[in-house]
Structure 1
C-alpha cells in the first residue's frame, strides 16, 4: 500500500509543480503514447532477452509481493517459535525418533495442524522437516548442520532476489532508452526543419518527453520497486533464519527454552515477540 501511495504522491508533486510553473500538458499528452511505446517496448524486450522464462514468471509474480508487502507478522514468529519449542522439547525428552511421525507426514501431524500458517508455508515446513530428519539420522554435529543450513538459506535468498535484480537492471536501462526515444524525436524534427518555429518547438518538446519518461520511470518507479522487493526478501529471509537458530542451539545441547530464546533473538526487532509474550504462548501450547 505504501508503494502505491508513494508513487501517487510522486506524480502529484512532479506534475503539480510543472503545472504551477506554467507548464502545458498538451505536448506531453500528445507524445506520451508514442514515447511509452518506444521506451516501454524496448524495456520489455530487454527484460525478455536478459531473463529465462522462469525468471520472467518469477518477476511478474514479484509485483504482487511488492503491493502486499512482507507476509510475516509478529504472530507468525510466535507460532514458529512455539512449534519449534514443541519439537526440540520432544526430541530432548523422548529422543529424536519421536519426531518421525511429525516430520515424515507433516500434513497429518498434530503439531503442524496446531499452526496451519506454518504448514501452508512450503519453504518453512520443508526446512523444519529436513533438518529435524537429519537430527534423527544422527547428524548431530551442530557446526556441520549450521553450515549446511546457512548455505541453503543463502541459496534460497539469492533465488528470491532475482526479480529485484531484474527490475534494477531495467531501472538502470530506462534513462538510456529514454534518450533513444528522444534522439528519434530529434531525427523526426530535423526532417521537418523547413517548418515554422512554433511547429518545431512542439516537435522538440515531444522529443524531450522521451528523456523525461525514461528518467521518471527509472528513478521514480522501477528503482524504488526493486529496492522495496529487496527489502521484503531480506525481511522474509529472517523468518527462515529463526529455524536455523533454534535447531543449531538445540544441537549444542541447550534446554528447549534456551534454544527457542536463541531463535527469538534472531527475529527482526520490529516483529520480535517479547519474552513474556512468547512464554505465555508456550504455556498455552498443548499438542497431542
Structure 2
C-alpha cells in the first residue's frame, strides 16, 4: 500500500508543481507516446539483452515486492522458532524419530503445523540438510557453519539479482532520455525554416525525452530497485535465523538456549517477545505431553 502512495505522491508533486508554475501539459502529452516508446522500448530491450529468461521472470516477479513488502511476517518468525524447537527436541530425545520429518517434510506432522514454512522450498531444505548434517556427527560444528554461510551467501547473491538488474536499467535511463532528446533535436533542425512558435514546440517536445529519462530513473525504477533490495535483505533474515538456531544446536546448547539465540538474532521489527514465544512453546510442550 505504501508503495502505491509513494507513486501517487511523486506524480502529484512533480506534475502538480509544474502546473502550479504555469506549465502546459499539452506539449508533454503530445510528445509522451513517442518518447516513452523510444526510451521505454530501448530500456526493455537492453534489459532483455543483459539477462537470461530465468532472470527476467525473477525480476518481473520481484517487482511485486515493492507493493507486498517482506514475505515473512512477525508471526512467521515465531512459527519458525516453534518448528525448530520441536525438531531439535525430537532429535535430542530420539535421533531416529526425527528422520521421518527430515527425510519427508511434505508429509511431516511437525512441518504440517506451519504450512507457509512448509511451502518454502529453501527454508525446508536448509532445515532438513542441516539436521542431516547434525546426525553425521561432525568433529567440528564450525564445518557445518561454514557450509551454511557459503550456501546463504550464494542464495542471497541470486536473490539480489532482481535489484541489480533494475538498478542497471535505472542507471541507463537518463542516457536513453538524452538519445530521445537528440533525435528530437535532429527533427527540429529539419524544420529550422519554421517560425519561432513552431520551433519552440519542437524543442519542447525534444526536451520531454530528457525529462522522461531522468524522471523514470530517479522517480520510479531507481526506488523500485532500492525497495526490492531492502525487502530481499529483510527476507534473508528468516534464513539467517535458521542458521543461528541450528548452529547453536550443533554446539549442543540446551534446546531453549538454541531457540533464544534465534529470537535474539531476529530483527527487532519481527522479533517475538520472550513472553509471546514462551507461551507458544508451552502450548507445544502440552501437546507433546
Smaller-chain TM-score bracket: over 0.9
Q: Match of 1:231?
A: 230
* 1:154 to 2:158 alignment: no
Question: What does residue range 1-288 of structure 1 map to in structure 2 within 5 Å?
Answer: 1-94=1-94, 96-139=95-138, 141-285=140-284, 286=287
How many residues were matched structurally? 287
- What do residues 121-154 of structure 1 show as CA deviations (whole Å, max 9, x unaligned)? 1111111111101112223632111111111111
TM-score, structure 1 length as denominator?
0.97
1:5 and 1:80 map into 2 onto residues whose CA distance is: 32
Q: What are the ranges of 5 or more consecutive residues in structure 2 without an aligned counterpart? A: none
Alignment root-mean-square deviation, CA: 1.1
Distance of 2:91 and 2:230 partners within structure 1:
35
SS of match in other structure, 1:184: helix
Deviates most, 82-91 or 255-264? 82-91
CA distance in 2, matches of 1:265, 1:276: 13
5+ unaligned residues in a row in structure 1: which ranges? Answer: none
**TM-score normalized by the length of structure 2:** 0.97
CA–CA distance in 1 between the matches of 2:113 and 2:142? 31
The answer to whether the Cα contact below 8 Å between 1:265 and 1:272 also exists between their aligned partners in 2 is yes
Q: Supply the distance in 2 between the matched residues of 1:196 and 1:140 (Cα, whole angstroms).
A: 86
Q: Given that residues 112 and 118 in structure 1 are in contact (C-alpha distance below 8 angstroms), is that contact kept between their aligned partners in structure 2?
A: yes
Deviation string, structure 1 residues 140-180 (Cα, Å, up to 9, x no partner): 63211111111111111110100100000000000000000
| Corresponding residue SS for 1:205 | helix
The 1:140/1:256 distance shift into structure 2, 3 A limit, reads farther
Matches of 2:89 and 2:254, distance apart in 1: 8
Query: What's the CA shift string for 1:64-120, capped at 9, x where partnerless?
Result: 2222111111110000000101111122222x3321010111122111111112111
Are 2:182 and 2:206, in contact at CA under 8 Å, matched by a contact in 1?
yes
Range moving further from structure 2, 132-141 or 267-276: 132-141
Separation in 1 of the partners of 2:33 and 2:133?
58
Q: Contact conserved, 2:174 with 2:213, CA < 8 A, in 1?
A: yes
